[in-house]
C-alpha cells in the first residue's frame, strides 16, 4: 500500500489533511502528499574526520541532548510532538490546531512587518522545534539584526548553525552570548558540545567545568559532569 507523507517535513499522514499535523504547512491538492524515499541510515563519522568519536553511547547521548535543548524553550506541553500531538485515529488535537493557526498568523504578520523582532524569534523557535534549522537560522538572524542583546536567541542561532554543520558560526554566536552573560548555563553547555564535536576535548571540558562551578545543581551541570567524567576517563586511557 502506498504510504503518504507531507512534502515539506516528511511527516507520515494517516489520512487526508488540509494542514500537516506536524509542521502546519497547508497541503495543496497538487502536492498534498508524496511517497517517502527509502534511504540508508547515516553512517558513523570516522574519527579521522572533523568529529571525534569516543564511544557510541557517549556520542549518541550528546547528540540527542544537544538537539533537544534550546535556550528559549517553550513549556513541554507546547512543543510540536509528532504523533504525540494527535488524538484518536490520527486526528490533530485542539492544541495542535491552535499551534498551526499561530504559525500561520505569525507568517502573515511577518509579511506586513518583516523586521518585527518578536515574530522573527517566534518563527525561529517554531522552525527549530520541527527540525527546519536553515529556516530557524534565517529568522534568528533577522531578529538579532534588530536586537542582538538576548543571549537566549544568540545561543539558539548557534545551535541552529550547528545542526546545519556550520560549527564555526555556531561557536561565534554562542561565544557572543557568553560575552553578554558569561555564566549562561545553556551557553556553557552547548559551547562544550560544539568543541567536543570538532575534536577539541580539552576546551569542551573547560566550558563544562565552568558550568559545574557556576551551579552544580543545574540539570545542564549534572549532565556536563557526567560528560566530563567519561571524557577524562577516556583521555586518561588513550
Local confidence pLDDT in tens for the 238 residues of the chain? 445 667 666 666 666 666 666 666 666 653 434 433 333 333 222 222 222 233 334 444 444 444 445 565 544 333 222 333 344 445 556 767 777 787 888 889 999 999 999 999 999 988 888 888 999 999 999 999 999 999 999 999 999 999 999 999 999 999 999 999 999 999 999 999 999 989 899 999 999 999 999 999 998 899 999 999 988 988 888 7
Q: Which of 53, 68, 52 is nearest to 189 (CA)?
A: 68
Which cell numbers in the block locate residue 41? 541510515
CB-based contact 70:128 (threshold 8 Å): yes
Specify the pLDDT at position 114.
94
Cα separation, 227 vs 230, whole angstroms: 5
CB-based contact 193:208 (threshold 8 Å): no
Q: Which residues contact 224 (CB under 8 A, 6 or more apart)?
A: 188, 189, 192, 208, 209, 211, 212
Specify the pLDDT at position 167.
92
Specify the pLDDT at position 140.
96
Cα separation, 186 vs 205, whole angstroms: 15
Question: Quick count: other Cβ atoms within 10 Å of Cβ 46?
Answer: 9
Which cell numbers in the block locate residue 148? 542582538
Specify the pLDDT at position 229.
92
CB-based contact 62:193 (threshold 8 Å): yes
Specify the pLDDT at position 103.
82
Could you tell me if residue 189 is left (phi over 0), alpha (psi between -120 and 50 degrees) or otherwise beta?
Answer: alpha
Cα separation, 83 vs 57, whole angstroms: 26
What residue ranges define each of the domains in the chain, with the CATH number in brackets? 54-71+113-237 (1.25.40.10)
Q: Which residues contact 208 (CB under 8 A, 6 or more apart)?
A: 188, 189, 192, 224, 225, 227, 228
Phi and psi of 35, rounded to 5°?
-80, 125
Q: Is 80 exposed, middle or buried (0-12, 13-18, 19+ CB in 10 A)?
A: buried
Helix (H, G, I), strand (E, B) or coil at 12: strand
Specify the pLDDT at position 92.
55
Helix (H, G, I), strand (E, B) or coil at 7: coil
Distance of CA 228 to the CA centre of its chain: 23
- pTM flag (> 0.85): no
Amino acid at each position: 500500500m502506498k504510504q503518504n507523507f507531507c512534502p515539506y517535513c516528511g511527516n507520515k499522514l494517516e489520512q487526508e489533511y488540509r494542514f500537516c499535523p506536524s509542521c502546519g504547512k497547508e497541503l495543496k491538492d497538487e502536492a498534498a502528499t508524496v511517497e517517502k524515499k527509502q534511504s540508508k541510515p547515516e553512517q558513523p563519522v570516522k574519527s579521522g574526520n572533523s568529529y571525534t568519536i569516543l564511544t557510541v553511547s557517549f556520542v549518541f547521548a550528546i547528540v540527542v541532548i544537544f538537539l533537544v535543548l534550546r535556550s528559549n524553550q517553550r513549556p513541554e506541553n507546547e512543543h510540536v510532538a509528532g504523533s504525540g500531538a494527535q488524538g484518536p485515529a490520527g486526528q490533530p488535537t485542539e492544541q495542535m490546531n491552535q499551534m498551526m493557526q499561530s504559525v500561520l498568523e505569525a507568517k502573515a504578520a511577518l509579511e506586513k512587518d518583516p523586521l518585527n523582532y518578536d515574530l522573527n524569534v517566534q518563527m525561529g523557535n517554531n522552525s527549530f522545534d520541527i527540525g527546519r534549522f536553515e529556516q530557524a537560522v534565517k529568522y534568528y538572524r533577522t531578529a538579532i539584526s534588530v536586537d542582538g542583546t538576548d543571549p537566549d536567541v544568540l545561543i539558539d542561532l548557534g545551535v541552529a548553525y550547528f545542526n546545519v554543520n556550520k560549527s564555526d558560526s555556531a561557536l561565534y554566536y554562542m561565544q557572543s552570548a557568553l560575552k553578554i552573560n558569561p555564566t549562561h548555563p545553556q551557553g556553557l553547555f552547548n559551547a562544550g558540545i560544539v568543541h567536543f564535536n570538532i575534536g577539541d576535548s580539552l576546551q569542551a571540558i573547560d566550558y563544562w567545568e565552568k558550568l559545574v562551578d557556576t551551579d552544580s545543581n543545574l540539570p545542564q551541570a549534572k549532565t556536563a559532569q557526567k560528560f566530563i567524567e567519561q571524557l577524562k576517563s577516556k583521555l586518561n586511557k588513550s
